[in-house]
Amino acid sequence: MLLDVIDPVLQNQAMLESVRRSLQHAGVADRVVLHDSTSPAGIDQLARSGRRWGFIFIDGNHEAPHPLFDTAAAVEYAEPDALVAFHDLASPDVAQGLEYLRQRGWHTCIYSTTQIIGAAWRGHVSPPAHAPDPRVAWHVPKHLRQFPLAPTATG
């Protein structure tokens, strides 16, 4: 798998070098392409070169309307079989991206994690199963109650 990372913080040379060292240390530097641009402009630029994605992870600016703009731009270039993961759905603004996809016929679910992860998928993919920490009394915030919980891992 090749991972495209779009993040304007990579314009900072010290941050870029730190990220590169971390990727090297993890042994995955050859599978990650760093792009020091913003989204959605960076998404459009990569797509013009023919890039399409089967997995998209959205974790950008958490203030509206940015999560919605990032989602709309990214899924325009999603493969027919695709999964989109969202970080920090505890923020209602970020949840707008998941709702956008739900309204467009994508399957959706949320994961009981501290910041609440969400997934939307279509085609011949499915979200990974999840085992929430049984020691935590998880609750679903009001702005996420329209989404089902992720499939539960067994065994």
What is the dotted CATH code of the domain comprising 38-144?
Answer: 3.40.50.150
DSSP 53-115: EEEEEE-S--STTHHHHHHHHHHTTEEEEEEEEES-TTSHHHHHHHHHHHHTT-EEEEE-SSS
Tokens of 90: 């505890």
* pLDDT at residue 60 in the model: 84
* pLDDT at residue 118 in the model: 97
Q: Contact at 8 Å (CB) between 53 and 78?
A: yes
**In the predicted model, is pLDDT for residue 155 greater than 70?**
no
Q: What is the pTM of this model?
A: 0.92
* pLDDT at residue 61 in the model: 85
Q: What are the residue boundaries of the structural domains of the chain, listed by start?
A: 38-144
Q: Which of 154, 110, 115, 108 is nearest to 131 (CA)?
A: 154
**What single letter denotes the amino acid at residue 67?**
P
Mean pLDDT, rounded, for 20-45: 95
- Quick one: DSSP state of residue 148? P
* pLDDT at residue 112 in the model: 93
Q: What are the C-alpha distances in Å from 47 to residues 34, 42, 68, 100, 103?
A: 15, 9, 18, 21, 24
